Amino acid sequence: MKMESLIGKIRDKNAGQALFLQAMEEVLESLEPVIQEHPEIENLNILERLTEPERQVIFRVAWQDDSGKVHVNRGFRIGFNSALGPYKGGLRFHPSVDLSVVKFLAFEQIFKNSLTGLQIGGAKGGADFSPRGRSDTEVMRFCQSFMNELYRHIGDQTDVPAGDIGVGAREIGFLFGHYKKLTNRYELGTLTGKGEGWGGSEGRKEATGFGCIYFALEMLETRNETLEDKTCVVSGSGNVAIYAIRKIQELGGRVVACSQSDGSLYDPNGIDFQTLRMLKEIERKRLQEYLELHPDAEFREDRKVWDIACDAAFPCATQNEILKEDAESLLKNGCQLVCEGANMPTHPDALRLFRDAGILFGPGKAANAGGVAVSALEMQQNAGWESWSFDRVDNELNKIMKGIHRTCLHFGDRYGAKGDYVTGANIGGFLRVAQAMTAMGVT
């Protein structure tokens, strides 16, 4: 089947799932030159199989708030592809979660996990529940109700969830506690992102942010540049953003802005990492409170940071947060590098502008793979009842990010898109999965 008609067929079958279709089209369009070279991909109908999830579970999550009121949310877990290993991918708790969101994330995860070179398949899950403003006991009850269904579908050899937006060490703790109770098994490798001290890996919470910056450094090195003295903006102020900011600062860069869903923070003196971490990671407060300690900073109701002049931009919040007009602002102000900590934060129209301008662009499925890579290292430590040092994990992470960078460059170059990390990531991620699917027959 011609690529165009295949995309049309997938569009019809998944009508209304805009984010999934956006992610699918970007990947399939990159694969044209590979398909021409490998007729077996078409003969075995690998692309149609790859774009249909192996399994999808949707379930009711009923729970009681602290006043006794009963709430109903919808839970999801999609196992998209297990050719390379057990399903692996995070859980997102956010009001915007629906089937399209979870499917796009699970689809991206297939290629990201493949790029790490580790044995992990692609999955994602979550619920349309917001932990923001909820007490710890409400979050615990929600997580327990969520696990009442999820536990049947997961396991260290089957499907291994982790965190994502709205799911951090607190939620993973509640989820694991209930999984242990329901199954009567202390099966550590079933969830990653656990607390350090009870099976969580050192360096996991830093991994996605640090990994994104390691990837950016590799890209900069191809132009004999570093992050030293570069002015940077980072969107979001959650797990990925916080540790991207920390690593940029360690490497001599200056981060002047970050954001949250209802506004952004601009600090001309550079964001103070310790204040940010204390506010967001420990006290779960809002960015407005930063001003009490740093009166020179400014909180803006505009949640976008893309109109602030910078050398490098790191979208670390959510999907489609850089639109065409944002890309125009970034380019006009001289931005030379965009590296995605979030999943699919750049809209295709914005991506087109970045490509035309020839700036360095690191796609999320390559640049933010550090999180899942260290999750896989956590599984490895759990399997051997081991606990590695922070330096050992960080060193492995750096090696993996360098490897992903090499893979992207190699496949971009090999298929006529020199320096195009989007094409390189899509092709490099795809080929490993396609080879495994081919070897395993039609299942």
Binding site for ligand NDP (CB under 6 A): 163-166, 208, 235-241, 259-262, 303, 316-318, 321, 341-343, 368, 371
Whole-number Å distance between alpha carbons of 99 and 77: 9
Write down the catalytic residue from 124, 230, 247, 280. Answer: 124
Residue 171 parent element (H or E) = helix 169-183
Whole-number Å distance between alpha carbons of 119 and 87: 10
Place of tokens 């590979």: 34
- When the beta carbons of 86 and 238 are compared against ligand NDP, the nearer one is 238
Q: DSSP for 283-328?
A: S---GGGHHHH-TT-EEES----TTS--SEEE--S-TT-B-HHHHH
Q: DSSP for 91-149?
A: EEE-TT--HHHHHHHHHHHHHHHHHTTSS-EEEEEEES---TT--HHHHHHHHHHHHHH
CB of 383 to ligand NDP, least distance (A): 20
CB of 68 to ligand NDP, least distance (A): 27
Integer-rounded Cα radius of gyration of the chain:
21
Residue 194 catalytic?
no
CB of 89 to ligand NDP, least distance (A): 9
Place of tokens 């699918």: 24
- When the beta carbons of 132 and 414 are compared against ligand NDP, the nearer one is 132
CB of 205 to ligand NDP, least distance (A): 8
- When the beta carbons of 342 and 433 are compared against ligand NDP, the nearer one is 342
Whole-number Å distance between alpha carbons of 412 and 396: 24
Spatial contact of 203 and 274, defined as CB atoms under 8 Å apart: no
- The angle subtended at Cα 88 by Cα 85 and Cα 91, nearest 5°, is 165
Residue 279 is given by DSSP the state I
- When the beta carbons of 205 and 254 are compared against ligand NDP, the nearer one is 205
- When the beta carbons of 265 and 337 are compared against ligand NDP, the nearer one is 265
CB of 133 to ligand NDP, least distance (A): 10
CB of 86 to ligand NDP, least distance (A): 17
- When the beta carbons of 73 and 237 are compared against ligand NDP, the nearer one is 237
Q: Which residues of 317-346 are buried (b: 16+ CB within 10 A; e: fewer)?
A: bbbbbbeeebbebbbebebbbbbbbbbbbb
Catalytic residues: 124
